[in-house]
Amino acid sequence: MDWRGWAEIVFTIALTVAVGWPLGIFMARVWAGERTWLDPVLKPVEALAYAAFGVDRSKGQNWLGYAAAALAFSAVGFVLLYLQLRFQNLLPLNPQGFDGLSPHLAFNTAVSFVSNTNWQSYAGEATMSNLSQMAGLTVHNFVSAGTGLAIAAAMARAFAADRGENLGNFWVDLTRTTLYVLLPLSIVTALVLVAAGVPQTLLANVEASTVEGAKQVISLFPTASQEAIKQWGTNGGGIFNVNSAHPFENPTPFTNLIEVVSLNALAFGTVIAFGRVAGARKEAKALIAVMVILVGVAAAAIYSAETLTPQPAMISAGISDAPSNMEGKEVRFGPAASSIWAAQTTGASNGSVNAMHGSFMPLGGGVAMFMIQLGEILPGGVGSGLYGMVVMALLAVFVAGLMVGRTPEYLGKKVEAREIKFAMLAVLILPLTILGFSSIAAVLPVALEGLLNKGPHGLSEILYAYSSAAGNNGSAFAGLTANAPWWDTTLGIAMLLGRFAYLVPVMAIAGAIAAKPKLQPTAGTLPSDSPLFVGLLIGIVLILGGLQFFPALALGPIVEHFQVLAAAR
């Protein structure tokens, strides 16, 4: 632990918000259909798209229509991706001659990328053809992010509406967000990454004859183009097995900075865009404050755990001069860059990693897991983090309203029974899925076969896997060998529930909110841009989102922490 580490953490968070802010302002313009400087190039492409889709861009949708479009798009994407992966051996651009994926792995992977989770039960360099990486996974990195952002746009319009039902057009929001925001960002980022050392080639691999005369097969891929959207779209599915810990995905501290910033910037930007469209700029800043505070605390906690916890394995080998845990970490990053990445990637639903979370000290890995369990709203996935945070904000004003006995309001909309019911439905999906599946897996022999570590750490592997899947995060305690029928299938179901069983109640909330009259704040309104509200929202996130996982965490990382302290004595 040193000042540079703390500086890296503070600087990274500050830069992430600073980059996200103007992006959010730009995205609000894109959502509103306004002119942008990219119009000369992209307008014709956009027009061509609508003509081909058979979509009238001026025609809005109500919440049902909007949700149906989003679900239809995801369903078609899932079927096509499943078939493509299952039969990649019959398709071109497969220089390594990889087989088609097994049914359970193709199911898991297709769900994973369609739901913006990007959980990887496979090792990319040993499984996926170039075509699968590009025309399959990269595409869904874009459009699953675009889907999330579109729904955030619909949510923003719901708060702006006054007794309306028009939430915009899903196809227009999806297309414009993808074309005007995600694609240009990815092109620029990919080229910067290549300049800094990330490969981008259609060559399968190179055979090197090493200095000591051994043979080394070096896997290469079109890495940079996938890396860029993997980060911007809070996807997280790497080309390689070890994700951004791989020196080809992330060769230097500079590429690490680009990647960790692009991982969260757009999710912060979504909040800014929401504030502009919903006419709630100050309130958006309050949401950003909540996110920054909790991500900052998490990063500090992980960094402290990784640098201060005594390591029994080191002590018993007589190594006293090594306070930092370097197992599973890269020398070029060290504990600080690994800690801020872990906090950002679990606070967002990104799930890319630059160090192995399964080898973190118990509290370091535990905080990462807890961040996912808080519901992926800090700042969460692009789009999905925003609408998740709005659900929490509705619950916060509801709880505050109960305390003072007034009908709660948020952003000029009365919050009534219908919205709260849907909000609770959405919020309960996560614990139901995570704790339900985990408790079954913890006693099922076929599930336990997949574990690498025993005892509390084994339970953490299970708990982390279902948290990651249901939270649509995608990172792992990778000791778990997940490519087996039980894990592939149940994790796939958890991902589906976490994305789509959440999305439908959220759209219902948007519909209900849009239909209400827009009220002017009165003396009795709880201001939702004040430090008091920030504190209240943090409390709701921690208590409502987090507390239900505490008993499970006590049996996993927390008890393991005390075992470590005892073993180090």
Q: Which residues does 153 contact at the CB level (< 8 Å), separation at least 6?
A: 31, 168, 173, 177, 273, 277, 383
- 136, 388, 471, 545: which one binds other proteins (CB under 8 A): 136
Residue 166 within binding range of other proteins, rule CB under 8 A: no
Q: What is the DSSP letter of 207?
A: E
Q: Among 245, 244, 252, 307, which residue's Cα sits nearest to residue 4?
A: 307
Q: 386: which 2 tokens?
A: 């925003």
Q: 532: which 2 tokens?
A: 């008091």
Report how far apart, in Å, the C-alpha atoms of 374 and of each of 290, 431, 473, 508, 511 are: 13, 10, 12, 22, 25
193: three-class secondary structure by DSSP: helix
277 in Cβ contact with 157 (< 8 Å) = yes
CA distance 410 to 287: 13
Residue 7 within binding range of other proteins, rule CB under 8 A: yes
Q: Closest separation between CB of residue 396 and other proteins, Å?
A: 34
Residue 366 within binding range of other proteins, rule CB under 8 A: no
386 in Cβ contact with 347 (< 8 Å) = no
Q: Closest separation between CB of residue 537 and other proteins, Å?
A: 32
Residues 486-545 that bind other proteins (CB under 8 A): none
Which is closer to other proteins, CB of 396 or CB of 451?
A: 451
Which letter, b or e, does each residue of 173-185 get, where b requires 16 or more Cβ atoms within 10 Å of its Cβ?
bbbbbbbbbbbeb
- 252, 439, 525, 548: which one binds other proteins (CB under 8 A): 252
Exposed/middle/buried for residue 440 (C-beta within 10 Å: 0-12, 13-18, 19+): middle
Residues 446-465 that bind other proteins (CB under 8 A): 452-455, 457, 460
Q: Closest separation between CB of residue 319 and other proteins, Å?
A: 5
Residue 320 within binding range of other proteins, rule CB under 8 A: yes
- 85, 185, 245, 394: which one binds other proteins (CB under 8 A): 245
Q: Closest separation between CB of residue 550 and other proteins, Å?
A: 21
Residues 10-29 that bind other proteins (CB under 8 A): 11
219-223: long-range contacts at Cβ-Cβ below 8 A with a sequence spacing of 24 or more? 219/125, 219/248, 220/248, 221/124, 221/125, 221/130, 221/133, 222/130, 222/133, 222/134, 223/198, 223/199, 223/248, 223/249
Residues 176-215 that bind other proteins (CB under 8 A): 178, 183, 186-187, 190-191, 194-203, 205-212, 214
Residue 246 within binding range of other proteins, rule CB under 8 A: yes
Tally Cβ neighbours within 10 Å of residue 145: 28
- 344, 359, 467, 475: which one binds other proteins (CB under 8 A): 359
Residues 32-61 that bind other proteins (CB under 8 A): 45, 49, 52-55
Residues 78-97 that bind other proteins (CB under 8 A): 80
Q: Closest separation between CB of residue 75 and other proteins, Å?
A: 7
Q: 100: which 2 tokens?
A: 């088609």
How, if at all, do strands 215-219 and 205-209 pair?
antiparallel
Tally Cβ neighbours within 10 Å of residue 15: 15
Query: With contacts defined by CB under 8 A, how many residues of the chain interact with other proteins?
Result: 128
Q: Which residue has the tokens 């649509």?
A: 472
Q: Closest separation between CB of residue 474 and other proteins, Å?
A: 16
**Of 158-166, 282-290, 312-320, 540-548, which part binds other proteins (CB under 8 A)?**
312-320
Q: Closest separation between CB of residue 84 and other proteins, Å?
A: 9
Q: Closest separation between CB of residue 138 and other proteins, Å?
A: 6
Report how far apart, in Å, the C-alpha atoms of 255 and of each of 146, 248, 299, 451 are: 24, 10, 19, 33
Which is closer to other proteins, CB of 164 or CB of 312?
A: 312
Q: Closest separation between CB of residue 73 and other proteins, Å?
A: 5
Q: Closest separation between CB of residue 175 and other proteins, Å?
A: 7
CA distance 330 to 327: 8
Residue 443 within binding range of other proteins, rule CB under 8 A: no
Which is closer to other proteins, CB of 134 or CB of 432?
A: 134
Which is closer to other proteins, CB of 32 or CB of 55?
A: 55
Q: What is the DSSP letter of 527?
A: P
Residue 560 within binding range of other proteins, rule CB under 8 A: yes
Which is closer to other proteins, CB of 71 or CB of 440?
A: 71
**Of 153-161, 353-361, 371-379, 464-472, which part binds other proteins (CB under 8 A)?**
353-361
Report how far apart, in Å, the C-alpha atoms of 566 and of each of 20, 310, 311, 323 are: 44, 10, 11, 17
Which is closer to other proteins, CB of 187 or CB of 547?
A: 187
Residue 475 within binding range of other proteins, rule CB under 8 A: no
CA distance 35 to 126: 45
Q: Closest separation between CB of residue 185 and other proteins, Å?
A: 12
Residue 142 within binding range of other proteins, rule CB under 8 A: yes
